[in-house]
Amino acid sequence: MYPFGKGISRFVPFLLLLIPLALYVLFYFGPSVMTVIYSFTNITNLPGSGMKFIGLDNYHDVFFSGNSGERVDSIIRTLYFMFIVTVVQNGIALLVAVIINQKLKGDYFFRAVFFLPVVLGVAVVALVWSMMFDPLSGPVNQLYQALFGYKDMFFGSFSHAFGYIIFVQIWMYMGYSMLIFLAGLQSVPKELYEAGYIDGTTKWQSFRHITFSLIAPSFTVNMLLSIIGAMSTFDIILATTDGRFNTRTMAYDVYKETFRGSLEMGLPSALSVVQFLIILVFVIVAVKQMRKREVEY
């Protein structure tokens, strides 16, 4: 009952917790709060250059300057990316998870294959798909030509590059969502299906009302992960098109302004804050919606 004893030593566990808490505040929470503060200043990366509070000037630059149109485009593109990735990735993942959960022969093999891209990492995935999508010698273009007599520029096309990035993103992380669904599926008690069978449910009904309701927690987790993941994606864009050909997203803009732009850090901080607020809104709405339909039998 009292593993640390009674009296003052009861507080030992709390003291121990202080260490990670301090680290968290120092390296996570602190910088995050500082980002918000910096977004109202003209801070630069130069030591000794000082900083001044300049009110909302950085935010004004984000939304009302020469290239704000592109920033708004980036935001719209991010939302589009998020919707497609979340819906398609989770849809496919759920389907694959249900199929694998049928106790197929070699389900371990399939599970490993579908999960593999997650392990590969972004750089390798980007390289693989850049080669697949090579317009001169890549296999995909040859397939296109054989099937439709059509050639594409893939990551070099203004109109299609973003679509291919969405495809690669889904390809890469589908296995991750699948695994979470699979864990959820395996926790559904068999008796419920038997009970349903006795009551004469169709396959669809038993999926819709038993499976789908009971895996709601994994559904919530998956949705959250893909919403946040998709909204903060910049690595795959950096590695495939480097933001060219209408593929910039909010997160990519933040990266670019921070590490490749000028020495000014105020504007990128403001961009981060805007990005944070947009994600926050979507996450809150999504959590509220999905919490509602989680059930327990």
Partner 1 sequence: MFKKLSVVMLSSMLLFTLTACGSGNNGAANGTNASSTAAAGDPTAKPASGEKKVIKILHWKQENINKAIEEINKKFEEKYPEYKVEYTTTGPDDEYKQAQRARITAGDVDILADLSGMRLSPKDWTPGAKVPDWQQWIDSGLIADLSDQPFVKNYNANDISKAGTYNGKVYALPTGKVAMSGFFYNKEIFEQNGLTVPTTWTEFIKALDTIKAKNIIPIVVAGKDVWPLKLPVFGLQAKILGGGDQEKWIEGVWKGETKYNDKEAVEVLDKMKTLQDNYIIDSFMGIDYATAPSIFATGKAAMIADGTWDAPTIATANPDLKFGYFPIPATEDAAKNKSLVGKYDVTWYAAEKGPNKEGAMKWLEFFSEPENYTAYVQAAGFLPTQDNIQTNSEFIDKELSPYLTGGFELAYEILMINRDNVGEHLAAEGVHTEYLAPGGEFKTAKELADVQQKEWEAAAPK
By CB under 8 A, name the binding residues for partner 1.
27-29, 31-32, 34-35, 38, 43-49, 61, 65-70, 130, 134-136, 151, 153-158, 220, 224-225, 228, 231-232, 244, 251, 254-255, 258-260, 262-263, 265, 268-269, 271-273, 275-276, 279-280, 283, 287, 291
Q: CA 185, CA 111: separation in Å to the nearest integer?
A: 14
Least Å from the CB of residue 122 to partner 1: 14
* Three-point CA angle 198, 201, 204, nearest 5°: 145
CB of 182 to partner 1, least distance (A): 20
Residue closer to partner 1, measured from CB, 62 or 100: 62
Shortest Å distance, C-beta 16 to partner 1: 19
Q: How far is the CB of 66 from partner 1 (least distance, A)?
A: 3
CB 153 to partner 1: min, Å: 4
Could you tell me the two tokens for 27? 């390296």
- Which CB, 101 or 220, lies closer to partner 1? 220
Sign of the Cα pseudo-torsion (32, 37, 42, 44, in order) = negative
By C-alpha distance, which of 224, 222, 244, 243 is closest to 234? Answer: 243
Q: What are phi and psi of 44, to 5 degrees?
A: -125, 175
Tokens in use for 163?
């679509």
**Paired tokens of 264:** 């000014």
Closer residue to partner 1 (CB): 195 or 286: 286
| Closer by beta carbon to partner 1, 9 or else 32 | 32
**Residues 251, 209 contacting (CB under 8 angstroms):** no
Please say which residue, 100 or 279, places its beta carbon nearer to partner 1: 279
Q: Smallest distance, Å, CB 119 to partner 1?
A: 20
Q: Which is nearer to partner 1, 114 or 252 (CB)?
A: 252
Sequence-ordered alpha helix ranges (H) in the chain: 12-24, 30-38, 57-63, 68-100, 107-120, 122-132, 139-148, 161-186, 190-199, 203-205, 212-214, 216-231, 235-240, 250-259, 266-292
